[in-house]
Amino acid sequence: MDFDLPPDNDPRRLEVRAWFEARPKPSYRQMAEAGYVVPHWPRPWGLAADAELQLIVDEEIKRANVLAPNLVNPVAVNNCAQSLLTHGTDAQRERFLMPALAAEEIWCMLFSEPSGGSDLGALRTTARKEGDHYVVRGQKIWTSLAHKAKVGILVARTDASMPKHSGLSQFIIDMDSPGITVRPIIDMSGEENEYNEVFFDDVKVPADRLLGKEGEGWQLSMSQLQTERVALSKPGAIWGGGPSARDLVDGLIEKGAMKDPLLRDEAAKLYIEGEILRLLAYRTLTDRMNAKNAGPEAAARKAIAAPHGQRVVDLAKRWQGMRGLVEGEEGLPRPNNGKGTFDNWDYAFWFNPAVTLGVGTQEILKNVIAERVLGLPREKDPTAKTPWTEVQKPQLKTAS
């Protein structure tokens, strides 16, 4: 066991550093061609890198003060592009991969629905085959980047006679196709954030945009939601981004707030939990390095990280007292020099309820741990085996 990170004089590190020093302001196209966008991919796209090299690349990109590609085009780099690599046709790979990795075409994921949420299998958007194309009709919600995206990965129901999970398929969508309307969602923070509603009004999608085979939509979607690019995710309060418990403690010390023993104790609890979350991320990384699947600690980390982050921003907000209710009052200094969307204590707080929402709520996460890790009896979905058309008979809303 060794908790030290690859040292400064690590030869692989030096090579990467040299590349960036030779190119002060590299384009993402350059980085993509050098294999630094998806180092863990096979060549030509990546470097077939082991986890440690991936880590080195991450750190050197940060050191070169370049915004990480997975922040510029997250859906492609973190979630979906890999499916093209594994399930796409040559033509699809040829057409879409490099522009995506070079961040020349932003992608979005068209998954969640107003009626769907965590029960993705209950989605209602349909894709009807008509000769050489499909016709898509329905609505998606919580689509991040839809307003910027050129490409959308859509999951829709192609066969309603099958049970809920079996009748789904995935498509690669041109977001500028006629019939697509994108409407931003205003969240409770009052900000027009990156989330959108997307409406499909009989949108024509060429048949060759089917990703994988018909009926593979569920499996593809699940793998895309799982795909976690190995990364030393710093335990920021908002999905790993934004302020961390370290930022909280540094800020409170700087402000001389630690004199209050109650705040001191709460801050210490959060600091300790935050450090542990870092360690769990390292552990997951090590497992990958040792070519093992992420161990149970990965699930545990997810279950703990979200409420942890909420308590971090909550304490910072409570410390502000009345002042904290005034819009724009950040109280503590911006973490990460305010680089990221959530590197703002005030915004991070009013956004924080979202962290435990959406796909994979805490309840579902805990069920997963209880069932898959601890082997306790499984929760049954009474509608899982029924043809979707049957399930639909009693018109019921479905939960997000």
**Token pair listed for 42:** 């096979």
**Token pair listed for 232:** 């030393």
Distance (Å, rounded) from C-alpha 99 to C-alpha 212? 20
- 34 vs 289, which CB is nearer to other proteins? 289
As measured in angstroms, the least distance from the Cβ of 38 to other proteins is 22
**Token pair listed for 59:** 């750190």
- 126 vs 286, which CB is nearer to other proteins? 286
Distance (Å, rounded) from C-alpha 221 to C-alpha 230? 19
> With CB cut-offs between 5 and 8 Å by kind, which of other proteins, its own copies, none does residue 253 bind?
other proteins
Residue with structure tokens 């991919």? 41
Residue with structure tokens 């590609």? 69
Tell me the site size for its own copies, rule CB under 8 A: 4
> With CB cut-offs between 5 and 8 Å by kind, which of other proteins, its own copies, none does residue 118 bind?
other proteins
- 94 vs 254, which CB is nearer to other proteins? 254
Residue window 244-283: x/- pattern of binding to its own copies, with contact defined by CB under 8 A: ----------------xxx--x------------------
- 10 vs 119, which CB is nearer to its own copies? 119
Residue with structure tokens 């001191």? 264
Residue with structure tokens 């973490």? 335
- 262 vs 374, which CB is nearer to its own copies? 262
As measured in angstroms, the least distance from the Cβ of 94 to other proteins is 36
- 7 vs 256, which CB is nearer to its own copies? 256
The string over 16-49, giving b where at least 16 C-beta atoms fall within 10 Å of a residue's C-beta and e elsewhere, is bbebbeeeeebebeebbbbbbbbbbbeeebbbeb
> With CB cut-offs between 5 and 8 Å by kind, which of other proteins, its own copies, none does residue 11 bind?
none
**Token pair listed for 254:** 């700087």
Distance (Å, rounded) from C-alpha 25 to C-alpha 22? 9
As measured in angstroms, the least distance from the Cβ of 99 to other proteins is 30
> With CB cut-offs between 5 and 8 Å by kind, which of its own copies, other proteins, none does residue 363 bind?
other proteins
As measured in angstroms, the least distance from the Cβ of 264 to its own copies is 9
What SS3 class is residue 168? strand
- 214 vs 314, which CB is nearer to its own copies? 314
As measured in angstroms, the least distance from the Cβ of 276 to other proteins is 5
Distance (Å, rounded) from C-alpha 216 to C-alpha 86? 13
As measured in angstroms, the least distance from the Cβ of 261 to its own copies is 4
> With CB cut-offs between 5 and 8 Å by kind, which of its own copies, other proteins, none does residue 280 bind?
other proteins
Report the DSSP pairing between strands 151-157 and 107-110.
Answer: parallel
**Token pair listed for 355:** 């962290």
As measured in angstroms, the least distance from the Cβ of 347 to other proteins is 12
Residue 152: C-alpha distances to residues 55, 113, 147, 249, 351 (Å): 29, 15, 11, 40, 25
What SS3 class is residue 129? strand
> With CB cut-offs between 5 and 8 Å by kind, which of its own copies, other proteins, none does residue 131 bind?
none
Q: Which residues are at the interface with its own copies (CB under 8 A)? A: 260-262, 265
